[in-house]
Every structure is written in structure tokens, then in C-alpha cells.
Amino acid sequence: MKKFLPWIVIGILVIGLYSWGKGFNNTAVEYEADAKTEWSKVESAYQERADLIPNLVSIVKGYAAHEKETLEGVIKARSEATKTTIDAGNLTPEKMAQFQQAQQGLTGALSKLLVTVERYPELKADQRFGELQSQYEGTERRIRVARDRFNDAVNIYDIYTTKFPGKLLASLFGFEEMARFKSAPGNENAPKIEF
């Protein structure tokens, strides 16, 4: 029995290490999948906003046809924003910045459109426009919530894969830190609105 004792100890260590590695990997995969799911919800919320824009532009066009430059700016920004997508499996900081820049362009164009609307009291009184504006505001809130939930999921994943000793296994299994959604530069300042 004594000559088998070292083999039994080695077997127990191997099984223990295997179980630990398997448990770490499976949990990391789960957290990564959760973060990717939350990212898809962010994209869905942005798509919802993009889908509202043609209706907003159409109604504004009927009242403010001579605001052609503003309307074209919104349409162009929407086109750029919907072209820029990120594969949830490849959320690098560079790609995240590119996505955010495209979305920021659309946000700026929409802000300009909504400022333009202030000059048209009859447009503000239009029921269809009021409903679309309300949907737009709700969509902006959903975007904010989706981004926050995405960042929360990424935080859980990143903490799990960067704390010791998990960091050792994370590099061994190929888990990398995920990019978070960050505010665009300059958003810490209140926007300057001029009429």
C-alpha cells in the first residue's frame, strides 16, 4: 500500500487541478457570454433609436423643409452609425471607440434636429411628432440602461479573469480583458445650445 501512496496523492492533485481549471473556465465562459449578451442589448437599443430617425426626419421635413442641412446631417449620421457594428466576440477598445464615435455623431445630429424643432411651435404641437419624441426619449433611457448593464457584466467578467490565481488560468485559456463602454470625450461638459 505504501508504494501506491505517492500515485494516489499525485492522482488526487491532478483531479483537483483539473476540477479547478474546469470550474474556472466554465465560469469565465459564462461571464463572457453574459457580457456579450448585454452588448447585443446595447446594439439593439441603438438600432431602435436608428429606426425612429426616418419617422422623425419625415415629420420635421413637412414643417421645416428649409432646414435641409440639418435633416441631411441626421440622415448621414444615421447611415454612419448603422454601418459601424462590433462583433460581440471582439470587443477591443479601438473598435469600441469607433462604435462610440459613430453613435456620438448621430447623437449630435439628433440634438441639432431637436434644437431646430424649437423654432416651430406647430411642429411641437403635432401629435405624431410628440409621440415620436417621447419614444426617442424612452429609447435614449434604454440605451443608457443597456450600456450600464453591459459595463456591469464586463466588470464581473474582468474581475473574475484578472484576480489571482484566476489570472494565470485566464491567460492559459485565452480570456482577455473586455472593453467597457465609455463616455465620449467632452460629454462631461454641458452642451452649448444656441437659437
Q: Where are the domains of the chain?
A: 5-173
Predicted local distance difference test score (pLDDT) of residue 65: 67
Structurally, what CATH architecture does the domain formed by 5-173 represent? Up-down Bundle (1.20)
Q: At what angle do helices 5-63 and 127-162 cross, to 10 degrees?
A: 160
Predicted local distance difference test score (pLDDT) of residue 194: 43
Predicted local distance difference test score (pLDDT) of residue 184: 65
Low-confidence spans in the chain with pLDDT less than 70: 65-66, 184-195
Model confidence over 58-94: pLDDT tens digits? 888 777 766 777 788 888 888 888 887 777 777 778 8
Predicted local distance difference test score (pLDDT) of residue 161: 93
Would you call 189 helix, strand, or coil by DSSP? coil
Would you call 56 helix, strand, or coil by DSSP? helix
Rounded to whole angstroms, how far apart are CA atoms 46 and 171? 33
The number of C-alpha atoms within 13 Å of 73 and in the hemisphere containing its C-beta is 16
Predicted local distance difference test score (pLDDT) of residue 187: 53
Predicted local distance difference test score (pLDDT) of residue 193: 41
Q: Are 12 and 141 in contact (CB under 8 A)?
A: no
Predicted local distance difference test score (pLDDT) of residue 52: 87
